[in-house]
């Protein structure tokens, strides 16, 4: 597997991300309980949105430069107990950079707000992400 240029963190708008990313963003309950930060590749984002953000009208997508966090990433399979089998999506990047893990201005390269169009996220991803959501 070749290394991606970017990996991504999805954050609900109920946990607002400010215009200037702070040193440390609050952890989601899932990340805090897991002991690592769940991330996705660009190709994995549509299903991550469908499985974990179906009830959200908007999400923040945080883009991380993979080379900046590569040493702290473990590629691991998805746990089917969380949202069902996602083995066809390959391994997922997980950030292990401390106890508790942190994500903030040193890791986040840029942020976009994606607002869902219609009933499904897949119709949103194509127009809003062109040129920004890349592997």
- Tell me the CATH number at 63: 3.20.170.20
Which pLDDT band, with edges at 50, 70 and 90, does 85 fall under?
low
Any domain includes 35:
yes
Domain range enclosing 25: 6-129
* The total number of structural domains that make up the chain: 1
Q: What is the distance between the alpha carbons of residues 130 and 112, in angstroms, rounded to a whole number?
A: 12
Tens-digit pLDDT profile for residues 13-54:
888 777 788 999 999 998 999 999 999 999 899 889 988 898
Long-range contacts of 47-56 (CB under 8 A, 24+ apart): 47/86, 47/89, 48/10, 49/10, 49/121, 49/125, 50/120, 50/121, 50/122, 51/83, 51/84, 51/86, 52/10, 52/83, 53/10, 53/12, 53/121, 54/121, 56/12, 56/13, 56/116
Any domain includes 34:
yes
Any domain includes 135:
no
Any domain includes 25:
yes
Any domain includes 134:
no
pTM of the predicted protein model: 0.88
């Amino acid at each position: 597997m070749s290394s991606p240029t970017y990996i991504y963190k999805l954050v609900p708008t109920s946990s607002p991300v400010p215009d200037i990313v702070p040193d440390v963003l609050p952890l989601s309950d899932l990340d805090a309980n897991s002991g690592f930060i769940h991330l996705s590749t660009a190709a994995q984002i549509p299903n991550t949105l469908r499985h974990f953000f179906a009830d959200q009208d908007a999400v923040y997508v945080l883009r991380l430069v993979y080379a900046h966090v590569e040493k702290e990433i473990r590629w691991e399979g998805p746990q089917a107990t969380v949202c069902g089998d996602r083995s066809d999506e390959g391994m997922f990047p997980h950030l292990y950079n401390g106890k508790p893990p942190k994500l903030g201005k040193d890791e986040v390269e840029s942020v976009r707000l994606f607002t869902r169009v219609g009933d499904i996220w897949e119709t949103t991803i194509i127009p809003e992400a062109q040129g920004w959501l890349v592997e």
